[in-house]
Structure 1
Amino acid sequence: MSKDNSPAPDLATPTDLRRNDRSKVVDALNGVLADSFALFMKTKNFHWHVSGPHFRDYHLMLDDQAAQILGTTDDIAERVRKIGSTTLRSVGDISRRQSIRDNDAEFVSPEKMLKELREDNLHLVEALRKVKALADDAKDNATSGIVDQWTDYAERRAWFLFEATRKE
């Protein structure tokens, strides 16, 4: 949806996907893209501000995770373009579409950072599963297939964040 809540315009990109089905997939992908940028920024924020006895491990893990998240953004946006629509255009556009909440706190403990990021990654997994269902309904095999990889990445990040906070 655009900022006036109208659907993204259709382009002349050749596709056999039906307009209504494609529109649902595009809206869901653009939401995931906005959440990916929000999660990237939060992960980098926590990477920059983590402290404590596990600093090095957390700092490096969060940097790796941020790079992976950013690495998916181009693929998500290009998928939207391949099926004949437009995608995000600005930080404001991201802000209007994101469902992952920002964290502007002056201080967050490392444990709370990792827990929040774990929950955010699991939220992203849930959104990706919705994209997969919409893509399957639209018979958009390419989107359905690539979403599996993005889901696996987010699940792995959530797993690492979980394991890093275990108390055993």
Structure 2
Amino acid sequence: MNQINIGIEQADREAIAAGLNQLLADTYSLYLKTHSFHWNVTGPMFNTLHLMFEGQYTELALAVDVIAERVRALGARALGSYSAYAKLTQISEDNGVSSAKAMIQELLEGQEIVIRNARALYPLVQKADDEATADLLTQRIQLHEKTAWMLRSLLEE
């Protein structure tokens, strides 16, 4: 493979890629959980939540590709297994939650985990002058904060 000379030191690229693999693990784990909840939601808000969860998991499915491609552009390997994701993510698996309210709460918590982990990567990205990754993080944080707000609003009485 040719040397990568994009103006970001190798050590910084490796550290940023590791942080992006964390984001990838979180995003994929949240995707899987959201998809499961889409299939299994019941109750008076079934149609609303079924459609909302579909929109959310569809967006997350697209996001994992963007994140993984940025990891590759930095010269690292993008993680691609459940076991690798499980080692990195703090997002719990769907363990048979049946209440729509509990599903909303768990997805809200997952969104906030993604937000915190993406935000934690910023200092390194800024130090390395990695504008492309900073842009990716800004977009992801903005989207996850909006989704978290919408989920939080559903939990208000």
The TM-score with structure 2 as length reference comes to 0.93
Q: Deviations over 1:116-137 (max 9, x none)?
A: 1011101100011012222112
The secondary structure found in structure 1 opposite 2:156 is coil
Letter in 2 for 1:101: S
Q: Does the 8 Å contact 1:13/1:82 carry over to 2? A: no
**1:93, 1:11 → 2: CA distance?**
27
**1:132, 1:21 → 2: CA distance?**
12
- More helix, by proportion: 2
- Asked whether 1:40 is paired with 2:31, we answer yes
Letter in 2 for 1:139: D
CA 1:102/1:11 → structure 2, altered by over 3 Å: closer, same or farther? farther
Q: Look up the match of 1:144.
A: 134
- Matched residues, number: 157
Q: Look up the match of 1:27.
A: 18
| Structure 2 spans left out of the alignment, 5+ residues | none
Q: Look up the match of 2:7.
A: 16
Of 127, 130, 144, 2:120 maps to 130
Q: Does the 8 Å contact 1:14/1:84 carry over to 2? A: no
Deviation at 1:101, TM superposition (A): 1.3
| Structure 1 spans left out of the alignment, 5+ residues | 1-9
Q: Deviations over 1:80-128 (max 9, x none)?
A: 11111111132222222222111222x4210011011011101100011
**Equivalent pairs: percent with the same residue?**
31
